[in-house]
Structure 1
Amino acid sequence: MTGQLLPHLPSQGAELGTAAPFFPRLGDLAADTAREGRVGVVVTLPGEDSATTYHLRPPGGGPAWSAPADGTTLRPVPAQATHATLLPGRDAVYDPRARQGSVPVEIHFEDGSTRECVLVLTSSELERLYAQTSRLLDSHENALGDSA
């Protein structure tokens, strides 16, 4: 690595300009960058009821505020992940060169959507996971023995 900034890496602050503009609909959650990322529910759209701006209200209620009609300060609020499950029929893989393992998982989101992903674990994380899953299996076997 040369230490040179690469403009195509978003983590370095360069804007690619490839994202589609965000035009929220009624009821959407939006983060307002002009309000330090404050999240609100869109309650009025520009052009609706002679409004010239978006109107947002905190999700739990409270005073509404306005955002520009072009939506330039609004960003979508992604659904939060709730849990991950193992992908059926897919095995974990260990890469000896990288000294890490990967486990195919499916991430579940609060809106019901899912996304396939890979859980990458270092050698020490693999050992920790092994110890934890071993304890879980022991607890499972003890619970089965108690119910017999």
Structure 2
Amino acid sequence: MTGRRSAHLPSQGPELGTAAPFFPQLGDLAADTTREGRVGVVVTLPGVDSATTYHLRPPGGGPAWSAPADGTTLRPVPVQATHITLLPGRDALYDPRARQGSVPVEIHFEDGSSREGALILTSAELERLYAQTSRLLTAHENAPGETS
């Protein structure tokens, strides 16, 4: 990732792990485990303006609800991936021992950040991808007004 944080990323930053307690800040998105993972925006913090609990509101608006001040029922909401692109200048590799291919990709997130990764494909998946990209290339070549 680029190090940029979305307004709804956990306040703890990249060091947040599965064992680290989650203490969201104002504006963070949090999933409330006591409400079947319902996601809300933190609108009030415990200890601020005489509040004794976290107050959350659905991202699109709606009635607020409370969560315990210790944050034990709240979980961070990760930034969602929006799309994946091929990494320029990097070739795909085939590993005959593992019988799979690896395509270098860049994963793009809704906050504008990105991360390098690999698309791992079995032999059957490689054949399926080949068939699908062949159909795309044919459609591209037959599209009116298209130039290569």
Give the TM-score taking structure 1 as reference length.
Answer: 0.82
Q: Which amino acid aligns with 1:88?
A: P
- Give the structure 2 partner of residue 23 of structure 1: 23
RMSD in angstroms over aligned alpha carbons? Answer: 1.7
Q: Give the drift of 1:147.
A: 4.9
Secondary structure of the equivalent of 1:115? Answer: strand
Q: Which amino acid aligns with 1:71?
A: G
Change (3 A) 1:128 1:18: closer
| Distance across 2 between alignment mates of 1:75 and 1:132 | 38
Q: Which amino acid aligns with 1:79?
A: V
The structure with the largest alpha-carbon Rg is 1
Instruction: Assess if the C-alpha contact under 8 Å between 2:140 and 2:146 holds in 1.
Output: no
Counterparts of 1:121-140 in structure 2, within 5 Å, are 121-140=121-140
Q: Deviations over 1:55-84 (max 9, x none)?
A: 001112222111111111111111111110
Q: Which amino acid aligns with 1:81?
A: A
Q: Deviations over 1:10-44 (max 9, x none)?
A: xxxxxxx8633211111111001121111111010
Q: Which amino acid aligns with 2:90?
A: R
**Structure 2: runs of 5 or more not aligned:** 1-16
- Give the structure 1 partner of residue 12 of structure 2: none
Secondary structure of the equivalent of 1:49? Answer: coil
- Give the structure 1 partner of residue 5 of structure 2: none
| Distance across 2 between alignment mates of 1:18 and 1:119 | 25
- Give the structure 1 partner of residue 89 of structure 2: 89
Identity %: 87
Q: Which has the higher contact order (CA 8 A, sep 6+)?
A: 2
| Distance across 2 between alignment mates of 1:83 and 1:96 | 29
Secondary structure of the equivalent of 1:46? Answer: coil
Considering fraction of residues, name the structure with more helix.
Answer: 1
- Give the structure 2 partner of residue 41 of structure 1: 41
Secondary structure of the equivalent of 1:132? Answer: helix
| Distance across 2 between alignment mates of 1:93 and 1:39 | 40
Q: Which amino acid aligns with 1:125?
A: E
Q: Which amino acid aligns with 1:112?
A: G
- Give the structure 2 partner of residue 77 of structure 1: 77
Give the TM-score taking structure 2 as reference length.
Answer: 0.82
- Give the structure 2 partner of residue 57 of structure 1: 57
